[in-house]
Amino acid sequence: MTAIFDAIELAARAHRGHCRKGTQIPYIVHPLAVAKILIDTGCPEDVVVAGILHDTVEDTPLSLDEIRQGFGDAVARIVEGASEPDKSRPWEERKAHTIESLRTASEAVLLVSCADKIENLRAIREDRERVGEEVWTRFRRGREQQEWYYRSVFAVLEERLTAGPGLSLVSQLKEALAEVFG
């Protein structure tokens, strides 16, 4: 349990000053919500820790080596697997890479990725309730491209996560998809 608290501290420092897209909500709320989803479905501690840290390498100066030093190889590998490649690449290329990498990713990476997508879709749903369809202007691509991406990720996760905590996560993702995209 100490590792979870250490990960929360590190993620809070790394994401300090960052907010969710188009909101004043501190970014740390997202990895904490991802962690709660993972805990609630009975995922092991290293998966929860990686869920807390999953955006740090992608969105902050924190390195995989720092995560490895603080939390070990298993957590670092999960974070690496759940991170997008170079953000300077075109959106379509990054998303296609993510979808393709999920086809061969470890179960732990799939669990973190699924919880991340559930939480993203729940946040989109809540924001859409407040601001309407304007919510889509916050993203690099609009509703149609976002729907393609989330449904493509869901298809891979549904095929690969067929037991244990993955079943519950896939069910939650399916529900979140329906709430946002119909």
Of 75, 71, 72, 78, which is closest to residue 102 (Cα–Cα)? 78
Dist. CA 77–CA 101, nearest whole Å = 13
Identify the three-state secondary structure at position 68.
helix
Best CA proximity match to 70, nearest among 50, 99, 88 = 50
Which of 8, 95, 18 is CA-nearest to residue 45?
Answer: 8
User: For residues 108 and 122, what is the distance between their CA atoms, to the nearest angstrom?
Assistant: 21
Active site residues: 58-59
